[in-house]
Structure 1
Amino acid sequence: MLNVAYFSNQFATAQGHGITRYAHEMYRGLRKCDDLAIRPVAAWSSLSPERLSALQAETGLELVRLGRRLTPLAWHYLDTPTLERLIGGPVDVVHAVSLGYAIATRKPYVVTVHDLGPLTHPEYFTNTKPWIMEKSLRQAEARADAIVCVSQSTADEVEGYLGGHVADRIRVIREGVSPEFFASGDMACLARLDLPPDDVPVILTAGKISPRKNVQGVLRALRQVQDKIDHHLVLVGGAGWETEAVLKELDDGTLMNRVHLLDYVTDAQLRALYRRASAYIHPSLYEGFGLTVLEAMASGVPVITSNTSSLPEVAGDAGLLVDPGNDAEIAQAICSICTDTALREAKIAEGLARARLFSWDNYSRELRDVFWDVGR
């Protein structure tokens, strides 16, 4: 039995998308490996006391004794006390589920890298501390026995940033999609959301409003085809640092009544929104993986996404790939997928087949092999 300390602050946070979803999906998958003992660990939690207690009872989550403020300071400046000492009990391997901050450990060490955006594309990120990611990445360079990357695009980025000497420690394991997205959603959970009437078709896009999500490009493209389609646009994920610019884009009134800005939604609502949508659009300028593309495909929604970064790896030929910097190309893709029934049905079928190639269970088994490789 291999004892794995599974460090993830996102595992203990309140909102469940992005790396939080990854952390929980991985935990569930790894728990199925009968030769692993997985111990979730976090420095802090944003859950209510009731939800935190329930999560701890269900998973054995441990919060390190130093807490939210002292933990990163002690690990960054002193490289002590070690994670294994703070939680006690047997630890054979430490897994950092993301590049949060450097972790003090003397055990075999595995780090998952989702992307290097704040370091390589700072223009797309704000309210981040690149020096923290830099420190964590450099620690991985110096100490990690394996660097797990969620796409080949991210792997190339890591090797390009750190140098070829880390190539033999990089493992590419692509993310999966939960079986729940293949099942019918509970549409009743959408009742309280600001959505158009059921007979109005919608295009969905998900993610906090930020420059890399290219929401302004979507709006400009939609304006070009607004007289050719009846669809409304639904944006899920809440306000980000580009919200003001997006609202300004809507100021002229021509799109205002056809755009619905939703905040954070529950997992059940997200699954239902995919089912409600006629198309999913994700012309992001930069992604480490792009999990929502897979989720949409699994939900039976045709997908328009970018031909850059990791997104072609995820979508393959099943997605309608566009240049995210070309508004006219995005507009043409929107018009095609919304008006060409044969194309739409073909992309739905191809998307479902594509999504079935990505499994969290397969991901977990590959990650399990990495743990045993470094922890023997």
Structure 2
Amino acid sequence: MRIGIDVQTLETNEARRGIGLLCLWTIDALLMTHEHELILVGTGSEPPAVLSPEVLAATRYAQIQMPGGTGEHLRLGCAAEFLWSTPGLDGLDVYHVTSPLMPDILLPVAGRFPIVATVLDAIPAIPEGNNGTPPPPWYDQRLQILRTYQGYLPISESAADDAVSALDLARSRMTVTYLPIRDLKALPIDKDAPSRYGLRPGYVLSVTGYHPRKNIAGTLSAFSRFARSEGGDRQIMILCSLQPDERAEIEGMARKLGIADRVVMPGHFVEDLYSLLAGASASIFLSRYEGFGIPAAESLAAGVPLVCSNRSSLPEVCGDAAVLVDPDDEERSAEGLKRVLTSQEWRDGLIERGLRHVKKFRPEEYLRRIIEGYRNTLESLVIQEPPTPPQSKEPRLRVACFTPLPPRMSGIADYSLSLLRQLARLADVDCFVEASVGEDHSTLTECGIFEFSSFEKSHRQRPYDVILYQLGNNTHHAYVLPFVKHHPGVSVIHDFSLLGLKRQMARNYGRRFEMMLQFAEEYPAADAKVWDDDSQLDRLSFEEFPMTGGEMRASRSVIVHSEWLARLAGQMLPGADVAVIPLGVDLNAKDRVRETRAEIRRRFLLPEKAFVILSIGVINRLKRLDVVMDAFVDFHKRHPDSRFVLMGPADRILLRSLNHFTAAHRIKHAVHILGHRSTEEMYEMISASDVCVNLRYPSMGESSATLAMIMAMGCPGLVTPVGQFKEFPDDVCGKIPLGAGEKAAMVRQFEELHETPETGRCMGEKARAFVEDRGWPDVARRYCSCLIKAASEKSDQVPARVEQVDNEIESETL
């Protein structure tokens, strides 16, 4: 394999400590075999100084390069697309991030290659690991990025469990590696080392750290209790790095316990560590939380009897080869020390079991588990194998499609499912998705489905003729954006503004500086520093700053769903190749066999005779639900049997305000909030409703898939006559103009449809006729024509395929 190893940790003050040592151990392990090529990736112009000449001779080094450098990316966030911009990384099979939750490490944005991350522990999300202190603000951003990675290498089963429960990482993506522990019995030992530190024979060693979870106070208390019962002058060495004030604090503890003359503290880690460990009569490690516990494992490897905490990973690391105690039980801990220091039989048993148990942590085993983790990750990238393509005289057009799919709660996901079922009849389509564990994509059997980070390798091995991108204004589409830039294709702009998505990427995904640079490039006359101030960022107008220009400029061609949006795109990018393909509709939905209107109403707890008003789709403030609710209150006073149904995923804040509103106006019984439902349930609810409200303002240029569903079902709908909705004739949907009369106009529409049902039926029939040429097979053919054009312009090697698809389209049309 060609493996990238992130060595930024070795550029920090952790280089020679636990996290840095693990990075070095990982490199050493991978170099034990000559099967793999290693590229070490860091920010410096030269490799980290801690790397040995032998490692440098056996690896290559690549310096991270990207617009703006690393400093501002880290100041304003935590992640950047440097895997795309750094030279020398082409063709990586996997990229390994060794310390993703360190605050001074720039994280790679997932996409170009599968990324595997070491998971050390769940500090500070686990209260036991951080003394109850809440995680810092930057931690959540790093977790958001970490959750987009394809594989995880936790260092113990306990760390894996904590990563699931506290960090919300997917257990199925994990391969536990443990840590590599050398055969310390085979190392040369300096028997004079203890005396150089003033240690007498029989001393106890505690290799630890200065942090409440490391429990130095508990260690000293346990030793003090044991020392009082034993008598004599036995010493304890506390071996950890200490600042002067920290040393003073520990010395104060020792004085209070009456053991100040027995405590030895070098105040720093020493090169004689293993000699000091080998000379100890016992080791004590009373940590309250560990991801692994190197001091415990090394005590076993050195053949030193160990008294150890029974929490977190430590029972797993020690097995039956240590005296396990509650770290906060001073009496039991002291008894443990007494047992290992006074019973030779007990000591011999612990040593024998420890040397046997620690073999599971040999470096060879660590290497095997890392490679297994890489391979598990690569195997998981195939979600659904492509179906066997139909036989044809010529190779079919090969299309890669980047889009969310159901069960993602996204209208574009539902749209893509319907489109791809038809498009796959005309071309070979592979979908590249951001996969979440437990998502079932079996509803789309017509395409291959792959995790998105597998695209680069697939495209390199067997190039696609054209790439199709579905772009919307929410984080379901964040993973798509780098591909649009680096692999130009056909971009479908569902929302003319992507500002909302990019604001979320800046705030929640640590990519603020990247968004700032994009903004500065797209709007050079504006002040990009607004991205450094959330209050100013909130005030940015999505109409003035839609933030779609970069994606459209990078695309070979653009598809939109309305003439209005095509005009906007043309104004932004004169001469751009923009095609209009209206939203597709399921023309069979109306005639599908389902329950009767009365039966559906009973199932949804609606009165059979009620006048039912429906709002369907995402429940947000753009739907003008405040005005709709006001209008419904007035209408309901005159028609107490009326009902208002909201079906779709809801903004929590808006949902709370809707509940307050319905309670305040005593209409809670008449308003049914049903939440996200399946597509078929949406069709059922439309068929059971008297009118559907689909107001929208301000509009970001999006076309309404739910309005298309409403029209296909022949149900009357009400819209706001702005932008793309002006293109609908007045007789296919009711128009509710903005302004002071908006509420009154809506109430009048409700009254008219209630009093003269024939008006609604007539409007519904005309709406149905209006979308007759927008069935999914027709829409797929229009898509295929656009894809053929883009493929032909890209390469002169696809004419035969284009001709074949053209023939299929023609035969489909006939």
Q: Please give the range of the TM-score, normalised by the shorter of the 2 chains.
A: 0.7 to 0.9
Kindly provide the CA deviation profile for residues 122-162 of structure 1, in whole angstroms up to 9, marking residues without a partner as x.
77379997333332222121x21111111111111111124
Is 2:264 the counterpart of 1:263?
no
- Conserved 8 A contact 2:303-2:354: yes
What is the Cα deviation at residue 65 of structure 1? 4.5
Return the offset for 1:68. Answer: 6.1
Secondary structure in structure 2 of the residue aligned to 1:321: strand
Aligned equivalents of 2:76 and 2:211: distance in 1? 32
Q: Find the residue that maps to 1:281 and give its secondary structure.
A: strand
- SS of the aligned residue for 1:224 comes to helix
State the match for 1:3 in structure 2.
Answer: 2
Q: Partner of 1:18 in structure 2?
A: 18
Q: Please point out which of 140, 145, 149 is paired with 1:144.
A: 149
The answer as to 2:285 corresponding to 1:282 is: yes
The corresponding residue for 1:41 is 41
What residue identity is the alignment partner of 1:16? R
Q: 1:170 to 1:372 in 2, by over 3 A?
A: closer
Which has the higher mean CA deviation after the structures are superposed, 363-372 or 255-264?
363-372
2:320 counterpart SS class: helix
Task: Kindly provide the CA deviation profile for residues 249-308 of structure 1, in whole angstroms up to 9, marking residues without a partner as x.
Answer: 123472111101123334x41111111111111010110100121111111101111111
Q: Which range moves more in the overlay, 148-157 or 253-262?
A: 253-262
Aligned equivalents of 2:318 and 2:369: distance in 1? 21
Task: Determine which of 161, 168, 172 is the counterpart of 1:168.
Answer: 172
* Alignment deviations for residues 41-84 of structure 1 (CA, whole Å, 9 cap, x no partner): 233599996x56846456444443476634534763xx534235
Aligned residue in 1 for 2:163: 158
What is residue 97 of structure 1 aligned with on the other side?
A: 98
8 Å CA contact 2:206–2:237 kept in 1: the answer is yes
Q: CA deviation at 1:226?
A: 1.4
Q: 1:354 corresponds to which residue?
A: 357
SS of alignment partner, residue 357 of structure 1: helix
2: CA distance, partners of 1:296 / 1:46: 36
Distance 2:203 2:41 in 1: 40
Shift of 1:370: 2.3
Q: 1:190: Cα distance to partner?
A: 2.7
Question: Which residues of 2 match residues 158-307 of structure 1 at below 5 A?
Answer: 158-163=163-168, 166-179=170-183, 181-187=184-190, 190=193, 193-197=196-200, 200-227=201-228, 228=230, 230-239=233-242, 243-252=247-256, 254-266=258-270, 268-307=271-310
Q: What are the equivalent positions in structure 2 for 1:51-70 lying under 5 Å apart?
A: 54=53, 56-57=56-57, 59-65=59-65, 69-70=71-72
Q: What is the CA distance between 1:166 and its match in structure 2?
A: 1.5
Instruction: Report the Cα offset of residue 244 of structure 1.
Output: 4.4
Query: Aligned AA for 2:154?
Result: C
SS in 2 for 1:318: coil
- Report if aligned partners of 1:33, 1:365 keep a CA contact under 8 Å in 2: no
CA shift, 1:40, in A, is 2.0
User: Is the partner of 2:41 in helix, strand or coil?
Assistant: strand
C-alpha separation in 2, matches of 1:249 and 1:232:
15
Partner of 1:130: 136
Confirm or deny that 1:120 pairs with 2:126.
Answer: yes
Query: CA 1:225/1:369 → structure 2, altered by over 3 Å: closer, same or farther?
Result: closer
In structure 1, C-alpha distance between the alignment counterparts of 2:249 and 2:159, rounded to whole Å: 29
| One-letter identity of the residue aligned with 1:10 | T
Change in 2 beyond 3 A, CA 1:27/1:208: same
Provide the C-alpha distance between the structure 2 equivalents of 1:129 and 1:87, rounded to a whole number of angstroms. Answer: 35
> Mean Cα displacement is larger for which, 86-95 or 204-213?
86-95
CA contact (8 A) 1:82 1:105 kept: no
Contact 2:37 2:59 in 1 (8 A): no
Kept after mapping to 2: 8 A contact 1:13/1:46: no
What secondary structure does 1:205 align onto? strand
- What secondary structure, in the 3-state scheme, does the structure 2 residue paired with 1:187 have? coil
| Letter in structure 1 aligned against 2:7 | S
> Would you say the 8 A contact 1:9–1:45 is kept in 2?
no
In 2: Cα distance, 1:33 partner to 1:53 partner: 17
State the TM-score, normalizing by the size of structure 2.
0.42
1:109 Cα deviation after fit: 0.8
Q: 1:257 to 1:32 in 2, by over 3 A?
A: same
The code of the aligned residue for 2:275 comes to: A
Structure 1 residues 5 and 175, CA gap change in structure 2 (3 angstroms): same
CA distance in 1, matches of 2:178, 2:249: 33
Corresponding residue SS for 2:361: coil
User: Are residues 122 and 134 of structure 1, via their aligned partners in 2, closer, same or farther at CA, if it must alter by over 3 Å?
Assistant: farther
Matches within 5 A, 1:330-349: 330-349=333-352
Compute the TM-score of the two structures, normalised by the length of structure 1.
0.86
Partner of 2:750: none
Q: Is the 8 A contact 1:185 1:275 kept in 2?
A: no
TM-superposition CA deviations, 1:64-122 (whole Å, max 9, x none): 3476634534763xx53423522433223111112234323421111111001122237
1:317 lines up with 2:320 in the alignment: yes
Q: In structure 2, do the counterparts of structure 1 residues 206 and 89 end up closer, same or farther at CA, with 3 Å as the change threshold?
A: same
Instruction: Give the superposed CA RMSD.
Output: 3.1
SS of 1:171's partner is coil
Q: Structure 2 CA distance, aligned partners of 1:338 and 1:189?
A: 22
Measured against aligned partners, the alpha-carbon deviations of 1:150-183 in whole angstroms (never above 9, x if no partner) come to 11111111111244x712212222222113x121
1:28 and 1:251 map into 2 onto residues whose CA distance is: 44
- Match of 1:117, SS? coil
1:316-369: CA deviation from partner (whole Å, max 9, x where unpaired): 110110000111111111111111121112111111111112122212122112
Residue identity opposite 1:291 in structure 2:
I
Contact persistence 1:190–1:272 (CA under 8 A): yes
Per the alignment, residue 650 of structure 2 pairs with none
1:326 matched to 2:355? The reply is no
Match of 1:172, SS?
Answer: coil
Partner of 1:72: 74
**How far apart are the structure 2 equivalents of 1:314 and 1:89?**
36
Structure 1's 48 and 94: CA in aligned 2 closer, same or farther, altered over 3 A? closer
Q: Which runs of 5+ in 1 are unaligned?
A: none
The residue type paired with residue 10 of structure 2 is F
Between Structure 1 and Structure 2, how many residues are aligned? 366
Q: For residues 253 and 120 of structure 1, do their structure 2 counterparts lie closer, same or farther at Cα, with a shift above 3 Å needed?
A: closer
Distance 1:224 1:274, change over 3 A: same
Say if 2:81 and 2:108, in contact at 8 Å, map to a contact too: no
Q: Partners in 1 of 2:37 and 2:47 — Cα distance?
A: 24
Q: Secondary structure at the match of 2:199?
A: coil
**Cα distance between partner residues in 2 of 1:88 and 1:61:** 8
Q: Is the 8 A contact 1:210 1:243 kept in 2?
A: no
